[in-house]
């Protein structure tokens, strides 16, 4: 089985390669742009068959240069929700994806691609239906436009696809191998760094009708994302657009408390309540940034109806379980060697 992973050195892409390796699959063509060379570390401990620069891959793939490819996991994209260069965003996230889709259909290759919960934007309903899609930034629009293109070409349920085409609307994913993402890394990663440096974590104060740290998101652990994607690899008959979240909204306060308590445990300190952590100055609520006003989702919760209807019954970790596991991983990789 030959598989392509675009964005393979990125957060989700590298975890997918790891998940494939765990199944004994290593005939993997990794596609990425290593201009930011430190991303290599996400691939260094993994097994791949070849690496192709993203600037070269799409044209070569359309020409059939790689022979028969079973599936493409298309994770390559600009995921910076603060990026304002719309031309770059559309070229990178929409146009290349369209070209890849047609090449996959022509060659009988399955396409499992990354969409985003940013397609919902200002909506208060998170179900895979056009009336709920209200992106707040050009990133969300670029992802939505590709979803719309797929619906137009394949039908509302992708029933016209020659081979499997499945899009996944990621909610707030966190976990190992995201260290290169800078400001776009998860809040859990940033809070780990903050606590290590300052002995406290930071959260936004009140905004959007929510109290300090009470804005709620559907936080999904990377291991769960990989498990669902591999379930679809095992079920080539399943096509469509699917939310990939836990179906459970939790406040940012839950993330912060899990970070604080896990890192306190490292130093044999007891578990705190949210009130105790905030009162003790371990959670610092900061003013909501003016640059995000009107562009920020204060609440997200994936509707998993379509995912469950497809037959995927994967059980997702809650924030306390997932963030604790993530913090323990970060502790291990940051501890000095003997």
Among 245, 255, 252, 254, smallest CA distance to 218 is for: 245
Separation of alpha carbons 164 and 114, rounded Å: 14
Dihedral sign computed on CA atoms, order 38, 33, 182, 196: negative
Q: What is the 3-state secondary structure (H, E, C) of the chain?
A: CCEEEECCCCHHHHHHHHHHHHCCCCCEEEEECCCCHHHHHHCCCCCCCEEEEHHHHHHHHHCCCCCCCCEEEECCCCCCCCCCCHHHHHHHHHHHHHHHHHHHHHHCCEEEEEEEHHHCECCCCCCCCHHHCECCCHHHHHHHHHHHHHHHHHCCCCCCCCCCEEEEEECEEECCCCHHHHHHCCHHHHHHHHHHHHCCEEEECCECCECCCCCEECEEEHHHHHHHHHHHHHCCCCCEEEEECCCCCEEHHHHHHHHHHHHHHHCCCCCCCHHHHHHCCCEEEECCCHHHCCCCCCECCCCCHHHHHCCCCCCCCCHHHHHHHHHHHHHHHHCCCC
Of 58, 94, 139, 326, which residue is the catalytic one? Answer: 139
Residue 139 designated active-site: yes
Give φ, ψ of 3 to 5 degrees: -130, 140
Among 231, 238, 269, 77, smallest CA distance to 158 is for: 238
Residue 200 designated active-site: no
Of 2, 47, 134, 181, which residue is the catalytic one? Answer: 181
Active-site positions read 139, 181
């Amino acid at each position: 089985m030959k598989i392509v992973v675009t964005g393979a050195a990125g957060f989700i892409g590298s975890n997918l390669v790891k998940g494939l390796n765990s199944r004994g699959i290593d005939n993997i063509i990794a596609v990425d742009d290593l201009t930011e060379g430190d991303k290599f570390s996400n691939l260094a401990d993994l097994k791949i068959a070849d690496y192709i620069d993203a600037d070269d891959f799409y044209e070569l793939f359309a020409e059939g240069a790689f022979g028969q490819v079973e599936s493409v996991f298309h994770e390559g994209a600009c995921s910076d929700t603060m990026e304002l260069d719309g031309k770059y965003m559309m070229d990178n996230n929409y146009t290349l994806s369209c070209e890849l889709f047609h090449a996959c259909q022509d060659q009988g290759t399955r396409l499992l691609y990354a969409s985003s919960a940013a397609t919902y934007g200002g909506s208060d309903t998170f179900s895979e239906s056009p009336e709920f899609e209200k992106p707040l930034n050009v990133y969300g629009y670029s992802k939505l436009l590709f979803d719309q293109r797929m619906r137009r070409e394949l039908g509302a349920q992708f029933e016209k696809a020659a081979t499997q085409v499945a899009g996944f609307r990621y909610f707030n994913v966190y976990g190992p191998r995201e260290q290169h993402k800078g400001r776009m890394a998860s809040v859990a990663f940033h809070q780990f760094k903050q606590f290590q440096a300052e002995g406290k974590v930071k959260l936004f104060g009140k905004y959007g009708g929510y109290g300090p740290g009470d804005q709620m998101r559907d936080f999904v652990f990377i291991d769960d994302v990989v498990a669902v994607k591999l379930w679809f690899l095992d079920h080539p008959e399943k096509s469509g657009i699917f939310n990939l979240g836990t179906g459970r909204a939790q406040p940012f306060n839950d993330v912060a408390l899990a970070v604080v308590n896990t890192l306190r445990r490292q130093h044999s300190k007891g578990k705190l309540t949210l009130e105790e952590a905030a009162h003790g100055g371990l959670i610092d609520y900061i003013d909501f940034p003016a640059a995000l006003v009107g562009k920020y989702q204060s609440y997200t919760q994936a509707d998993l109806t379509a995912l469950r209807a497809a037959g995927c019954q994967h059980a997702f970790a809650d924030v306390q379980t997932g963030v604790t596991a993530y913090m323990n991983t970060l502790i291990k990789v940051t501890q000095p060697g003997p």
